[in-house]
């Protein structure tokens, strides 16, 4: 083989394997994330209706965490929270008690806008919105993968990750959440 053909073969092989490498990295990150314990800051401002409270999430209840980090448009995400209505309704109908935690870690630049959106949005929402102004959540949990697809997860009562993925992403994920929650209850 000539050097041109070797170079062409190497580039072609790299192009073909690149998507596989990304998929493997995602799979490895997800596998490492399962069974990890997720911790919460001692106290964070929380919007509940028109009130701001400081709630402690360090109880022994199972939780569904929907986390938006500072790289995302937090006010945009807050405005999209109504898409969780069906999932919230499902959760409220359960006899088993657990929390849905909407956690936002906005950039300092967008903090005021996020606070305004959160105070308005919780009037429409049945669940509180937590605002992590100092990015403490990520500092306590550096093992959370950077991939935003893994920023929604289900925790058991000990705070261990048992399911990763957004429950409203698609019907299959919604069904998987329901099945996993039902198994946790029984």
Domain 34-185 has CATH 1.10.10.10: no
Give the pLDDT confidence score for residue 4 in this predicted structure.
52
Q: Where are the domains of the chain?
A: 1-33, 34-185
User: Tokens 């698609």 belong to which residue?
Assistant: 170
Tokens of 82: 């109504």
Tell me the β-bridge partners of 104: 68, 131
Per-residue pLDDT tens, the chain, 186 aa: give them: 555 555 444 444 444 445 556 667 777 777 788 889 999 988 788 877 677 777 677 777 888 999 988 887 777 777 777 788 888 888 878 767 778 888 988 877 777 777 777 766 665 566 788 888 888 999 999 999 988 888 999 999 899 999 999 998 889 989 999 899 888 887
Which residues make beta-bridge pairs with 52? 47
Is beta strand 44-48 parallel, antiparallel or unpaired with respect to 129-131? antiparallel
Residues 103 and 69: their CA atoms lie apart, in Å, by 8
- The answer for residues whose C-beta is within 8 angstroms of residue 38's C-beta and 6 or more apart is 65, 141, 144, 153, 155, 159, 160, 161
* 21: its two tokens: 């490498």
SS (H, E, C) 53-96: EEECCCCCCEEEEEEECCCCCHHHHHHCHHHHHHHHHHHHCCCC
Only one residue has tokens 């950077």, namely 146
pTM of the model: 0.80
Q: Give how far Cα 139 sits from Cα of 27, 73, 95, 164, Å.
A: 23, 20, 34, 20
Closest to 115 in 3D by CA, of 126, 135, 130, 93: 130
- The number of CA neighbours under 13 Å toward the Cβ of 120 is 11
Beta bridge partners of 98: 62
Both tokens assigned to 45: 């401002």
Q: Are 104 and 92 in contact (CB under 8 A)?
A: no
């Amino acid at each position: 083989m000539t050097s041109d053909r070797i170079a062409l073969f190497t580039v072609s092989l790299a192009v073909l394997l690149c998507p596989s490498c990304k998929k493997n990295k995602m799979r490895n990150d997800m596998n490492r994330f399962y069974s990890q314990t997720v911790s919460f800051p001692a106290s964070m401002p929380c919007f509940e209706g028109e009130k701001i409270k400081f709630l402690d999430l360090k109880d022994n209840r199972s939780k569904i965490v929907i986390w938006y980090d500072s790289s995302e448009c937090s006010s945009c995400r807050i405005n999209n929270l109504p898409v969780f209505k069906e999932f919230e309704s499902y959760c409220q109908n359960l006899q088993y008690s657990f929390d849905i935690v909407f956690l936002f870690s906005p950039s300092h630049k967008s903090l005021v806008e996020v606070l305004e959106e959160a105070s308005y949005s919780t009037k429409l929402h049945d669940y509180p919105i937590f605002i992590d102004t100092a990015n403490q959540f990520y500092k306590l949990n550096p093992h959370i993968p950077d991939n935003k697809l893994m920023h929604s997860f289900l925790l058991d009562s000990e705070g261990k990750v048992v399911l990763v993925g957004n429950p409203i992403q698609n019907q299959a994920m919604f069904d998987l959440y329901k099945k996993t929650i039902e198994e946790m209850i029984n």
